[in-house]
Amino acid sequence: MVACGTTEIAPHATAAHRTGSAGPAGAVWPDYVGTGLYAGFAAIAAGDTLALITAERRRDPALRRPVGSRPRQVRAMAAWEAAVVAGTALVLGTAIALCTLAPMLRQAFGDPLPYVPGPAAAAIAGGTLLLALLATGLPVHLGLHRRATETLAAA
């Protein structure tokens, strides 16, 4: 999702930044709308996958509670895991986008580096982190409402 979104946004943003025009409005907006729709579907799929993985690992937080971990500590562990997942997605997605865009941008502008506006970069990074935090945090939060012995017996 990060790579595809960046690969769709960056050429238009780079063209607008370097030449003052992103191209014909009739070609640019359909790309942005299509990217938004794709990102929405990809977010649902990624969120569902993360939530299922976290739910399958419900024994891990349940095992931590009887040995003295507090719910806050279990939630913090899940948040750190989500941050690692989001960070990995951002690093790999950015690298893939750069590898994809560099030859095209070098050919068009003589410079392989894309321009992505700050708000767009913040939206991509923030959305990725928020998705990871919600998709992992919600199952952990719900699992903490069950007694550890019930969770371990059911798993």
Q: What is the pLDDT of residues 29-67, one digit of tens each?
A: 888 899 999 999 999 999 999 888 887 877 777 777 778
Q: What is the rounded CA–CA span in Å between residue 138 and residue 136?
A: 6
The residue-averaged pLDDT of 116-136 equals 94
- Please give the distance of CA 135 from its chain centroid, rounded to a whole number: 11
Domain count, the chain: 1
Query: What pLDDT is recorded for position 63?
Result: 76
pLDDT, the chain, mean: 88
Q: Tell me which residue range forms the domain holding 57.
A: 2-154
Residue 6's contacts (CB-CB under 8 Å, 6 or more residues apart) are 93, 94, 97, 101, 114, 116, 124
Give percent of the chain with pLDDT exceeding 90: 57
Q: Does residue 114 surpass a pLDDT of 80?
A: yes
Q: Residue 71: which pLDDT band, with cuts at 50, 70 and 90?
A: confident
Q: Residue 151: which pLDDT band, with cuts at 50, 70 and 90?
A: low
